[in-house]
Chains A and B, each alone.
Chain A
């Protein structure tokens, strides 16, 4: 369970670092975020929701059945968009209306 940070997209704002409940994300010498302790990620996706550059993706470790899909979120006001990039290049998008309750 961990995250992957795309260095080319990261702008070094530090929002992910500020919010991580495990203090696991740091800035490197080039002022880009990196996960210093990847095995310690809880998979809470807090950092992903903070990232305005969509630079962080969350994936399942191979030891828990991960097959390479990576998910990030896009904040569109009332809508939180979850975008899954599949290994074959396809995408799947799920939209959550923040004003709508779960049905179950």
Chain B
């Protein structure tokens, strides 16, 4: 085991959508700053965009305004959003899109040279290479260093301020101790907390990246940062088996949701994201499943375009069509809900940030899927948040000096790593405990098994079991640093699970079907619950804090002690 120390003005944890764009912005705004991106894979194809993306779903189309986008997101989340965050994001969506096009992204234009819209907020692209395009631009930045295959596991704190982070090099068995004047958390959200749709050989064929393990959430929770809205889980409606996105079918060719009797059922339940999932679940529960997107009868040209569109984003779906011969013109596409994810780019879970994307812990910023209060950000919103956070960092650290990480803090971290790698054997493996965690969450915290429903007694059981698994994880053994990463990933997920359970229990209403379907409180309660459920981890306990809604007229700023 080697130990390497690094100093950098700005540390970006995660070289995905938000992290890459933050680096581009920092070079523009403050080229004198040294920037380090630590990426657990390789920025060329890491994060949500590895396979590509089929459309940009957050764009202010002709005749619309940023406020329209805020209104849409607020309605979809039934009020529980941060207006200030949504507006500041929405105002930047079109500029970051233009920048992507400059960098080389192909965007469809109409006869007037305007972007061709798909629906009210979406534009059509060829997004297969969107991540390599972003990565290439970042690799050219003279002030930015990228370290691939390094998994950041913890933040370094001094006097309640973030002064750096710790990481492990998974291929070079190196422990990294990094001092930074500012740290941007851009790790993405969390998949793999719940038992997935295909729990066997294809367990990682999920919609959200299985390598997004909630590291950023867990680091923030452990550092005492205030977190928000973890109870608004995201459950995606996806093509059965391949878990490929459905928007291309629903919005692209106007395919309706129908049950096995051929009845269009979506109007019965409503059209918000959670209602579409709930309707599908309920049609199945009441014996009218399976459910489909109605594609039968589309013409050959449309079918071929669809198959190509899927190759550019979710090639498994095209492969399924081709290999079965049951292409979308011949057979409707069966749909199902995914396991619940915690992801601030679709729903509103994540760090409680101010308008500048500062977290409640000084020195720590958050952007993209790890940042809360600002749902429906998708790709362009993550870019916008990366830009906003980078702007704030450039201003905030202008006159700031480095703060050294305490040796005693370093010793604790090195000792923890040693404890995992010096054992010779252990009864359990990280994989076994991960499966146990997913079973607990599936059974007792509203997974697929219970049609996403739960009650408080079940949540109490889940909490006890998850705490126990965390204790058991202390005795795990890693034969190499990749296995060490798996131990840290498991522990991150367990930390996030506890917060999810606490949040689900705290919101004593059912505001969003399926996303948070509380059987003890099956009704929406506007009188008491038009509020954010926030939490802070203090002395080993999760403390729930309820906060009043913040509108777009506010510019919400944290004040640090």
Contacts and interface: CB of A to CB of B under 8 A. Distances in A.
Interface of A: 1-2, 18-23, 38-46, 58-69, 71, 80, 82, 84, 86, 92, 94, 96, 98-104
A42 B320 contact: no
Q: Quick one: which of B170, B210, B251 has the most chain A CB within 10 A?
A: B210
B209 A42 contact: yes
Interface in B105-158: 106-108, 116, 118, 124-129, 148-149
Interface residues of B, number: 62
Interface in B309-335: 309, 311-312, 315-316, 318-320, 322-324
Q: Quick one: which of A19, A63, A99, A103 has the most chain B CB within 10 A?
A: A103
Interface in B86-120: 106-108, 116, 118
B170 A68 contact: no
B126 A100 contact: yes
A94 B128 CA distance: 15
Q: Quick one: which of B253, B305, B320 has the most chain A CB within 10 A?
A: B320
B202 A63 contact: yes
**Which DSSP category, helix, strand, loop or mixed, fits chain A's interface?**
loop
B34 interface: no
A71 B321 CA distance: 12
B283 interface: no
B4 to A, nearest CB: 19
Contact of A102 (B46, B125, B209, B322): B125
A58 B202 CA distance: 12
Contacts of B198: 1, 61, 63-64
Given A42-B210, A69-B319, A104-B305, A1 B202 contact: yes
Nearest to A99: B106
Which 9 pairs across A and B sit closest by C-beta, in order of nearness? Answer: A104-B252, A69-B323, A101-B108, A46-B45, A1-B205, A61-B202, A44-B50, A64-B241, A44-B51
A82 B311 CA distance: 8
Given A2-B201, A19-B45, A44-B45, A92 B209 contact: no
Given A44-B51, A45-B51, A60 B319 contact: yes
Interface string B292-308: 00000000001001111
Contacts of A103: 108, 124, 252, 305, 309
Interface string B242-283: 100000110111000000000000000000000000000000
B523 to A, nearest CB: 37
Contact of B315 (A43, A67, A104): A43
Contacts of B315: 43, 45, 58, 71, 82
A35 to B, nearest CB: 12
B41 A22 contact: yes
A64 B200 CA distance: 9
Contact of B323 (A2, A46, A60): A60
Given A22-B211, A104-B248, A61 B201 contact: yes
Contact of A94 (B170, B249, B307): B307
A23 B50 contact: no
29 contacts: A18-B42, A19-B44, A20-B45, A21-B42, A21-B46, A22-B210, A23-B40, A23-B149, A42-B50, A42-B51, A42-B210, A43-B315, A60-B242, A60-B323, A61-B200, A64-B198, A64-B205, A68-B323, A80-B128, A82-B318, A94-B311, A96-B128, A96-B308, A96-B312, A101-B126, A102-B55, A102-B308, A104-B249, A104-B252
B329 to A, nearest CB: 14
A88 to B, nearest CB: 11
Given A92-B322, A98-B126, A102-B124, A42 B211 contact: yes
Contact of A104 (B42, B46, B47, B306): B306
Nearest to B53: A102
A33 to B, nearest CB: 15
Contacts of B253: 104
A21 B311 contact: no
B320 A65 contact: yes
Contact of B54 (A61, A66, A100, A102): A102
Contacts of B324: 65, 67
Contact of A39 (B107, B204, B485): B204
Interface in B504-545: none
B398 interface: no
A66 B323 contact: yes
Contacts of A22: 41, 204, 210-211
B47 A21 contact: yes
Interface in B45-64: 45-47, 50-51, 54-55
B482 interface: yes
A101 B41 contact: no
Nearest to B151: A23
Given A1-B204, A39-B201, A44-B51, A60 B41 contact: no
B124 to A, nearest CB: 5
A76 to B, nearest CB: 14
Given A102-B108, A104-B124, A86 B50 contact: no
B59 to A, nearest CB: 14
Nearest to A22: B211
A26 to B, nearest CB: 9
A63 B203 CA distance: 9
B474 interface: no
B28 interface: no
